A and B are shown apart, each in its own frame.
Chain A
Amino acid sequence: MTKNEFLSKLADELRKNNVSDADEIISEYEQHFAFKMADGFSEEEIAAKLGDPAAVAAQFESDADSRKSGGGGRKAITVIGLCFIDIFAGAFFALLFAWELVMIAFSVCSAVVSVCLFVNISPWAIIPPMPPLPGVVFGVSMASLSVLSVTGSIYFAALIRQLMRSYGRFHQNSIAIASGKAVLPSLSVYPRLPAKANRRIRNVAVFALVLFTAFIVLGAIISIISSGALEFWHAWGWFGYAG
Chain B
Amino acid sequence: MNIQYKKGVLELCVLSLLKKHDCYGYEISEYLSTHIDIADGTVYPILRKLKSEGILTTYMQEESGGPPRKYYSLTKLGREVYEKERAEYLDFAKKVEALLEDDSDD
* Min CB gap A7→B, angstroms: 12
> Which secondary structure dominates where chain A touches chain B?
helix
Within 8 A of A (CB), among B39-59: 39-42, 44-45, 47-49, 52-55
Q: Are A185 and B80 in contact (CB under 8 A)?
A: yes
Q: Are B40 and A50 in contact (CB under 8 A)?
A: yes
Q: Does A170 contact B (CB under 8 A)?
A: no
* Min CB gap B7→A, angstroms: 10
Contact of B54 among A28, A32, A35, A182 (CB under 8 A): A182
Q: Does B84 contact A (CB under 8 A)?
A: yes
Contact A25 B44, CB 8 Å, known A31-B25, A49-B39? yes
Q: Are A31 and B53 in contact (CB under 8 A)?
A: no
- On chain B, which size bracket covers the interface? 20 to 34
Report the interface size for chain A: residues with CB under 8 A from the other chain. Answer: 22
* Min CB gap A205→B, angstroms: 29
Q: Which 6 A-B pairs have the closest CB atoms?
A: A182-B53, A59-B45, A49-B40, A50-B41, A35-B26, A185-B84
Chain A, residues 28-70, CB within 8 Å of chain B (1/0): the string is 1101101100000000001001110000100111000010000
Q: Are A32 and B40 in contact (CB under 8 A)?
A: yes
Q: Does B77 contact A (CB under 8 A)?
A: yes
Within 8 A of B (CB), among A171-206: 181-182, 184-185
Q: Does A27 contact B (CB under 8 A)?
A: yes
18 additional contacts (CB under 8 A) given A29-B44, A51-B41: A27-B70, A28-B25, A28-B44, A29-B41, A31-B24, A31-B70, A32-B25, A32-B29, A49-B40, A50-B40, A56-B45, A59-B42, A60-B45, A60-B48, A61-B48, A61-B49, A184-B77, A184-B80
